[in-house]
Amino acid sequence: MQVEKNYSLLHDNTFNIDQKCDEYIVYENERDAVSIAKSLHAPFLLLGGGSNLLLTQDFHGKVVTPAKRFDISVVLQHDSNEPCLKCWAGTTFDDVVDYAVRHGYHGLENLSLIPGECGASAVQNIGAYGAEIKDVLMEIEAVEIGTGRVVTIQAADCDYSYRQSKFKHEWKDRYLILYVTYQLSRSFHPELDYGNVRKQLEAKGITEDKLTGELLRETIIEIREAKLPDPAVLGNAGSFFMNPIVDAETFERIKAAHEDLRYFEMPQPDGTMKYKIPAGWMIDQCGWKGRSLGKAGVYEKQALILVNHGGAKGEDVVNLMHAVQHDVKEKFGLDIKPEVNII
């Protein structure tokens, strides 16, 4: 276990905001996590890689995080011999995707280059290009805060939906995650019909019958790198806003006023239809792409991303967020909500 006092979180958040915490605690294993969990009391902040975090002030409490290390074990399912990857919470998620693809384990390719760690993947239900972590997540091993009890949580019990889970609501601050297990497949069934994945493959001359997991991962990385800034160069937390999902009545109202509206159909289990409207497109239509307020700005290549141009404070990003939200509400009548955790 590592403990540091009056610790700067500058290198623990991808927005590159320099704020401090009273105490910074790193758990290396289950024993550490149990010890911490038994004595932990508010205020505290559970932190992964800091890729979904915006700090607006110093945190006067304890920040608890898993040790950063590559730790993967392969477990074969007894009934099918299919691979499951059990990953330490502090393992970089994209390293897991790379490992899986190189070993012929499929299901994570579309999630390539998503920042953050495995523990956070289960909390956030990360997703991209038609895939979500709930599609492959099997179970989570965690320590209950307050009791120190080690529990195994099945993915089916987490109430996963678009960027949501119980870990963000009724289970918030309840568990220290130890391991996340992903259930993958030796069979390759690519999802190509979201965004411009298929178009990019066609431009490269890659037909579906020639497509491999390696080629799909490579293509997803190319798409992301072309429109997403590197946090090491330009501070950001990836997609800042969630895409609003609306019912048919709201969709028809907006479509009538905006004939060029972009959207994705989302068939519901009850037979109805909902629609996901890209927040980035709406922000762009409001003229915000590439604009700044002080040292915080909307990224010039992708309006869904707010960036730190250097020296921005958390409150600068929050002011920009409010301005963008106001204009989207005025033009489209929709509220766009932040995906990042604002402290």
Q: Determine which one of 163, 174, 224, 291 is catalytic.
A: 163
98-108 CB burial, b ≥16 within 10 A, e <16: bbbbeeebbbb
- Of 51, 112, 121, 239, the active-site residue reads 239
The one-letter amino acid at 159: D
Classify each residue of 261-297 as buried b or exposed e, where b means 16 or more C-beta atoms within 10 Å of its C-beta.
Answer: bebeeeeeeeeeebbbbbbbbbbbbbebbeebbebbb
Residue 102 among the catalytic residues: no
Measured from the Cβ of residue 217, the count of other Cβ atoms closer than 10 Å reads 22
d(CA 39, CA 35): 7
Among the options 28, 82, 144, 339, which is catalytic? 339
- How does strand 83-88 pair with strand 72-76? antiparallel
Indicate the DSSP class of residue 209: G
Mark whether 339 is an active-site residue: yes
Regarding beta strands 127-128 and 72-76, do their DSSP bridges make them parallel or antiparallel, or are they unpaired?
unpaired
239 is catalytic: yes
What are the residue numbers of the active site?
163, 239, 339
